[in-house]
Amino acid sequence: MIIAERKPMEEIKQAMAPYKKVLVAGCGTCVTVCWVGGEKEVEILASQLRLARSAEGNEIVTLEATVERQCEKEMVTELKDKVAEVEAVLSLACGAGVQTMAELFEDKPIFPAVNTTFIGMPEKEGLWVEMCGACGDCFLDRTGGICPIVRCAKGLLNGPCGGTRKGGKCEIDPEKDCAWVLIYRRLEKQGRLDLMREYNPPKNFRAVKRPGRIQAVKI
Amino acid sequence: METRIGIFLCNCGGGMKNIDFDAVAEKVARMPGVTCVNLVSHLCLDEGREKMIASIREENLDRVIVAACSPEFKEHIFRQALEDAGLNGHLLAMANIREQCSWAHEGDVTEKAVELIKMATNRARLLQPLERKELPVNREVLVIGGGFSAIDTALHLSRLGLRTTLLEKEAVLGTGTGEWQSLHGFDNSSMTAAVEGDRNIDVLASARMTAAEGTIGDFTVTITREGEEISRKYGAIVLATGFRTELAPTSTLKLRTQAEPISGISIVSQEQLFHMLHNSIVEAKPRTIGFMFDFSDENSRFPTLTTLNNALAAKNKWGSEIYIFCKNVKVDSEGAEKLYREARECGVVFLKCETTPRMSMDNGRVAVEARDVFLGEDTVIACDLLVAEELLLPIAGTETLSSLLNIRLDSRGFYQDENVHLYPVASEKKGVFVIGWCRGNLDMGRVLTDISSVVMSVHGLLSSGKILVEVERVKVDPQKCVACLTCIRVCPHGAIQLVRVDGDKEVAGISDLACDACGICSAICPAKAIKFQGYRDEEILAQIEAIGES
Amino acid sequence: MNGCIVAFCCEHSAYPAADLAGRLRLHYPESLRVIRVPCAGRVDVIHILKAFENGASAVLVLGCEDGACHHITGNTRAKERVKYCNMLLKEVEVDGRPVAMFNLSPNTPHKFVRAVNEITKIIKESGR
């Protein structure tokens, strides 16, 4: 899923400074699951904004709404009436959600309240780790299902780099596992260590033509 | 429909002199939706309750506020009064104007009392009825373990008419009771014989639990015995798996620890010493014996007992000189103080040391070098026999069982009791109990208490064959749930699972039976999909909004 | 609610402790408003923030002693949430609004009173 992280409050406050009435809009999918943009976070951010502004003696009115997926026009349309009421929208969705919102409500400034950071998974309650770089040319079959592009600090396609620490930790961050040690161990378990000897040619990152566009087969 | 709120003010027979009740009554009567305000002097007595019931009926009330003592004392009585008047008991809100208002402050607190009632009224407007229903429970009990506490629990439960299965990993019951025997001279053969003759007890030996699912009243357990899998259903599970000991790791110990210390000069464990004292023929009586305990584990209640018992026995049988090296002697278990006095009286020497003594081999004897804090100097004592410190550890397999049943272990690896003071034998999972040694270091008296409390708890839970639960007290809104699994990960009682609704959408579902109503899930849910009736966000925020309104 | 202290009290520990304080006539400031919760873990960030929005001068979250929470992790979660809340308030530079968590058991009314007095002192010092 898409993982995001709340922007610094200072930035949000500054962005909201000119407005007296805003809509804080959450998204009920990825960002809800990673605890940054669901109904709960919408409520907290709105409350924070109100507190901040009332301390300045410059009250702000906040409307709150969370749609199931902010990246779907049909679902965002539900917010039409609320958007009409406010001067600006503060969106807690990923970049796709913010843009959907911006496209639907062209006359209103839409501000992102979160930074969309990566595609990842929960390692445990409340901790998300990056798993996929969305490179568009997946070779997980050759690396035992572990992606070195995002999980190796250097993004090496052929590793390890030679700087692996004792215990299989990364030389750049001793807290993190060396992805290539993980790959080695996984392949060892599968009896496919010969893959370690094979050279992975440089990736063709042009596999994804920007902007990315995928047309599913019509059924 | 407009809510019809009835407020009942109780002045506790004049026990709240710093509240002007007439003024309170006048003020609260002006709140929207308030149909009637009744001032009663003893609402909790029969006359008060009758008045309350009559008023609920006459005024056709649908919300009741009781402004009186703390809900901790009489809430259940007032709930019952609501039920008797034909109203759901959960439509009651209490304002604690006695303990937390009148009695807590010195001056006139009429205003505060009014505000507390307003808070309760605001909450009451939002309260929703909560139904209760009886669910059937399985009356069979699974006791895991084959030691003293397991067997005794099974025998007690059987006498109360509950069928019990004893699940023992060894081939026969009672194999791990060595230390008990040495300590209390109890003979396990009479207990195992009692089990054999009991038709209510089923013994599954050489068997292990390999899977468990379900909740209180309805556990399905997979048991593997000699490669064969058996599936059985139980209403409750009791863990009485006991403990094991290991000699405290010290490099010198390895030198001369012997499995069969017949020669008499060595480093031994408490159990080996017991066998030397009672069963084996010792060629040369040890002249000097050293004991060590309480250095690695502060919780040394049991080592204190074994040491004192064995020291006394050795003194009586061999007349040896005895030195006990320890940090502290724990004499809070029954009889320990007396044993300690006896030991002192017959000449056993206690050396209180802050650090673990150093040991070395000296001509076949063990030289123990320690600094006694009272003497203030180093002492070297050459012992013919050293009884080494033992670590008390959870038995192998504890981790597996804990993960199968989804219950936690404490920092030492024993099963964590739910609340050491209030509910010592309950685990965090309803219907799973932990008793005796497997929940930590205990002594006989405490084990017996554990057994009786688990027997009482299980009997109370299962004897009637049904259990009364509140239906959907904590509920997931399937429309709002995004199945992020957060609640499933955080529920301390393992009460939440993914369930399929509307054909196949997967969402979190809370088991009414297993839920203990803490509200942790509803506080953490990022989609705000979990509602805890009585403590919903609206109900909590409504109280906050009432503060300082006037 | 100008200047009130809102105390979320766990019904297994702090709430009975508050009752006991009353029975023993251990006095504490009248501005305290207790909200009973089933566990400190039920107290959510938004409850605390809304209390401040309504003009509370301080918020207390009172739960069971460490390691003795009736619901195992409720009190530790509450502690984390209180920390988080302080961070959120600091972010918006709303200072002098203390949120504090205290652990107590049902038989420690003096601890309850101490918690209330401590937070009252903090409010006074911050001049609100």
**What residues does each domain of chain B span?**
5-130, 141-242+395-466, 246-390, 472-532
Q: What does the pLDDT read at residue B173?
A: 84
Q: Which CATH architecture has domain B246-390?
A: 3-Layer(bba) Sandwich (3.50)
Confidence of residue A71 (pLDDT cuts 50, 70, 90): very high
Question: How many degrees, rounded to 5, is the angle at CA A215 between CA A214 and CA A218?
Answer: 155
Q: For domain A2-118, say whether CATH 3.40.50.2300 is its number.
A: yes
Predicted ipTM beyond 0.90: yes
Mutual orientation of helices B71-84 and B46-58 as an angle, nearest 10°? 50
> What ranges do the domains of chain A cover?
2-118, 133-207
Nearest to B288 by CA among B398, B378, B227, B362: B362
Task: Compute, in degrees rounded to 10, the torsion defined by CA atoms C5, C11, C17, C23.
Answer: 90
Q: Nearest residue of B to residue C44 by CA position?
A: B523
Residue B422: per-residue pLDDT: 60
Q: What is the percent of chain B where pLDDT is above 90?
A: 57
> Within 13 A of C101's CA, how many CA atoms are on the CB side?
26
Please give the pLDDT value at position A59.
Answer: 95
- Burial (CB count <10 Å: 0-12, 13-18, 19+), residue B326: buried
Extract the tokens encoding B97: 């104007």
User: Cβ contacts of residue B12 below 8 Å, gap of 6+?
Assistant: B41, B42, B68, B69, B98
* pLDDT at residue B13 greater than cutoff 50: yes
Nearest to B527 among A32, A122, A125 (CB): A32
Give the highest mean pLDDT range of B376-390, B406-420, B516-530: B516-530
d(CA A48, CA C2) in angstroms, rounded, equals 19
Asked if residue B418 has pLDDT above 80, the reply is no
C105·B547 Cβ contact <8 A: no
List the chains bordering chain B where 3 or more Cβ pairs fall under 8 Å.
A, C
Of A93, A85, A135, A84, which is closest to residue A111 (Cα–Cα)? A93
Q: Which of C 59-78 lie inside 8 A of B, CB atoms?
A: 64, 67-74, 77
From CA B43, how far away is CA B51, in angstroms rounded?
8
Instruction: Look up tokens 């739960």; give the residue.
Output: C63
Nearest chain C residue to A41 by CA distance is: C46
- Return the CATH number of B5-130, one of 1.10.357, 3.30.70, 3.40.50, 3.40.1050: 3.40.50
* Contact assignment for B548 to C50 by CB distance below 8 Å: no
d(CA B3, CA C81): 35
Q: Residue C93: what residue type?
A: E
Let me know if B481 is exposed, middle or buried by CB neighbors in 10 A (0-12, 13-18, 19+). Answer: buried
Scanning the structure block, which residue is given the tokens 């004499």?
A: B331
Residue B2 has pLDDT above 90, yes or no: no
Predicted pLDDT at B255? 43
Q: Is the pLDDT of residue B258 over 50?
A: no
B203 vs B171: CA distance, rounded Å: 10
Mean pLDDT for chain B? Answer: 88
Reported for B76-80, long-range contacts at CB under 8 A and 24+ positions apart, including other chains, are B77/B44, B77/B49, B78/B43, B78/B44, B78/B49, B78/B52
Determine whether domain B141-242+395-466 maps to CATH 3.50.50.60: yes
Q: What amino acid occupies position B360?
A: S
Contacts of C85 in chain A (CB under 8 A): none
- Structural domain count, chain C: 1
Share of chain A above pLDDT 90, in %: 82
> Does residue B410 surpass a pLDDT of 90?
no
Task: Name the pLDDT band for A10 (thresholds 50, 70, 90).
Answer: very high
Determine, for residues A44 and C89 on separate chains, whether the beta-carbon distance falls below 8 Å: no
The domain containing residue C61 runs over which residues? Answer: 5-126
* CB of B338 closer than 8 Å to CB of B262: no
Q: What is the pLDDT of residues A178-193, one digit of tens each?
A: 999 999 999 999 999 9
A54, two tokens: 């009332």
Residue C38 sits in a domain whose CATH number is 3.40.50.960
- Its pTM stands at 0.82
Contacting subunits of C (3+ beta carbon pairs below 8 A): A, B
Determine contact, residues C60/C86, Cβ cutoff 8 Å: no
Q: Are B476 and B435 a contacting pair, CB within 8 Å?
A: no
For the purposes of burial, counting CB atoms within 10 Å of the CB of A82, is it exposed (0-12), middle (13-18) or buried (19 or more)?
A: middle
Q: Could you give the CA distance from residue B331 to residue B337 in angstroms, rounded to a whole number?
A: 5
- The DSSP element (H or E) to which A100 belongs, if any, is helix A95-104
